[in-house]
């Protein structure tokens, strides 16, 4: 499969859009073909696109955030919830538990409450 793609990529194309796509494959050849070596690696990023779709639709039908601060808050909450969804069996319960603990100790670190086994990198 990779050989067939490389053959097509190395052909000359007369249309600028096709040339541009070929250039992407040429410039990033070291990152383009991992999926050809391991069938467990998807050849596309549709999973990431599908996971974002409900949030994008909700933002569109609700006319988005009314401020930059609201957009940043929504972004942070969605990131935390989607990460919890991948890490724990009941993300809603984990989120509620973290909020309950934060209500009892307002100075606590929300990140540590949400992700107790993970330590944030300090920059």
Q: Which residues contact 78 (CB under 8 A, 6 or more apart)?
A: 55
8 Å CB contact between 41 and 35: yes
Compute the distance between CA of residue 73 and CA of residue 65 in angstroms, rounded to an integer. 9
Model confidence pLDDT, tens digit, residues 23-79: 988 888 887 888 888 888 887 777 777 877 887 787 777 777 778 888 788 888 888
31 and 66 inside one domain = no
Say if 122 falls within a structural domain. no
Q: Are residues 27 and 68 in the same domain?
A: no
Q: List the domain range (segments joined by +) for residue 10.
A: 2-37
Residues 23 and 81 in one domain: no
* pTM of the full structure: 0.51
* Sign (positive or negative) of CA dihedral 92, 86, 77, 115: positive
Q: Which two tokens stand for residue 21?
A: 């796509």
Shared domain check, 56 and 26:
no
* pLDDT tens digit sequence for 38-53: 888 887 777 777 877 8
């Amino acid at each position: 499969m990779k050989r067939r793609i490389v053959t097509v990529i190395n052909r000359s194309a007369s249309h600028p859009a096709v040339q541009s796509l070929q250039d992407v494959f040429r410039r990033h050849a070291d990152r383009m073909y991992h999926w050809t070596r391991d069938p467990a690696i998807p050849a596309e990023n549709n999973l990431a696109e599908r996971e974002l779709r409900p949030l994008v639709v909700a933002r569109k039908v609700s006319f988005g955030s009314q401020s930059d601060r609201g957009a940043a808050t929504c972004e942070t909450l969605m990131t935390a919830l989607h990460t919890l969804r991948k890490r724990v069996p009941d993300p809603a319960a984990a989120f509620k538990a973290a909020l309950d603990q934060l209500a009892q100790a307002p100075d606590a670190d929300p990140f540590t409450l949400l992700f107790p086994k993970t330590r944030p990198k300090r920059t």
